[in-house]
Amino acid sequence: MTSEPAQESSPGAPGRARSAASGRQWALDALRIGSVVGVVAIHVFAGMVANPDVRGTAGWWGAVVADIGFVWVVPVFVMISGALVLAPRQHAGGPALFYRKRLPRLLTALVFWSLLYFVLIRTLFSQIAPTRLDLARFVLDGQPYTHLYFLWLIVGLYVVAPVLASFLQGGGQRRAVIFAAVTLGATVVTGVSSSVLTAMGDAAPLTLLALTQWLPYAGYFLAGWALRAVRVSGWRFVVVLGLTVLAIVASIVQYGLRPSLPLVDAVLP
C-alpha cells in the first residue's frame, strides 16, 4: 500500500496515535506491519490448506488458522488507504492534480508487475505457451497472477476517490459512517444473494474483472475514513476485541468444517 501520510489532526485524540514531530500515524504503521505478516502467512500456508491429502490433520488445522485467521488483511489495507486518501486536503487541488500525483506511479507498478508475473511465472517458468484466452484474461481479467488483482483494486479506488471525497466533504462524521455502512451492507447482501442462489442450484457467481475489482472494497475504503478518529477504551475495547476474536475463530471453524455446514456457508459466505 502506498498512500500520502496524513497531516490532519484526528478529533478527540490529537497526538495519541502519531508523532507530533513527524506527523506519522504509528497506529496505522502497526496495522500495516500486522497486515504484511498476514499476507505472507496466507501465501505460505495456502498450498497446504488446499491439499486434500492432509485435510483434517493437526498440521492442516494449523495452516487453516494461519491462513483463514488473516482474511482481514486486505480489507485493513484498503481501510488504511481510505483513511489517508479521502482526507479533504488530498483533493484541495481538484481531481486532475490528485490523478497526476498518484496515478502514474500506480499505473507503472500495475504494468510492470503484471508483465513480470505473466511473462516470467506464467510463461517462461511454467514453460506453457500462452493461448489467446490467456492473453485476453491478462488484459481483461485484472488478475494476471493470483494476488495481482490488488493492483487493479487500488487503481480503481484511487480513480473514484475524488468523487467519494467530494460527497463526504462537509457531511461530517454522520454522513461518512452512514455512507460506509450502506455501501458495506450492499456488498454483503450481494455476496450472500449469490451464494444462496448457488446453494439452491441456480449458479450465480460474482465475476470481477479488471475494471470492477475495486467494487467489493469500496465500503472498506469509506469505512477507513469514517472510523479514522474512533478510539475505544475500557470495557468497550474489551467488547470489540472479544467480538473480533470470535469472528475470526468462527471463520476458521466454518472453513475447517466445510462442506458439513452448507446453510451457514450459503448465508455467511
Q: Structure pTM?
A: 0.86
* Separation CA 180–CA 186 (nearest Å): 10
3 domain-assigned: no
155 domain-assigned: yes
18 domain-assigned: no
* Separation CA 257–CA 57 (nearest Å): 12
122 domain-assigned: yes
pLDDT in tens, 82-120: 999 999 999 999 999 999 999 999 999 999 998 888 888
What local confidence, expressed as pLDDT, does residue 14 receive? 45
138 domain-assigned: yes
Say which residues have a Cβ less than 8 Å from residue 125's Cβ, sequence separation at least 6: none
What local confidence, expressed as pLDDT, does residue 13 receive? 47
How many CB atoms within 10 Å of residue 69?
19
Q: What is the residue-level pLDDT of the chain in tens, covering all 269 positions?
A: 444 444 444 444 444 444 455 567 888 999 999 999 999 999 999 999 999 999 999 999 999 999 999 999 999 999 999 999 999 999 999 999 999 999 999 999 999 998 888 888 877 787 778 888 888 888 888 877 778 889 999 999 999 999 999 999 988 999 999 999 999 999 999 999 999 998 888 877 888 899 999 999 999 999 999 999 899 999 999 999 999 999 999 999 999 998 888 899 999 88
Q: Which residue has the cell 506491519?
A: 33
Q: What is the largest CA-CA distance in the chain?
A: 59
109 domain-assigned: yes
13 domain-assigned: no
What local confidence, expressed as pLDDT, does residue 22 receive? 56
What local confidence, expressed as pLDDT, does residue 21 receive? 53
Half-sphere exposure of 166 (CA within 13 A, CB side): 9
4 domain-assigned: no
pLDDT in tens, 143-161: 777 788 899 999 999 999 9
Report the domain count for the chain.
1
* Separation CA 70–CA 176 (nearest Å): 26
* Separation CA 108–CA 88 (nearest Å): 26
Containing structural domain, residue 213: 26-267
* Separation CA 142–CA 139 (nearest Å): 7
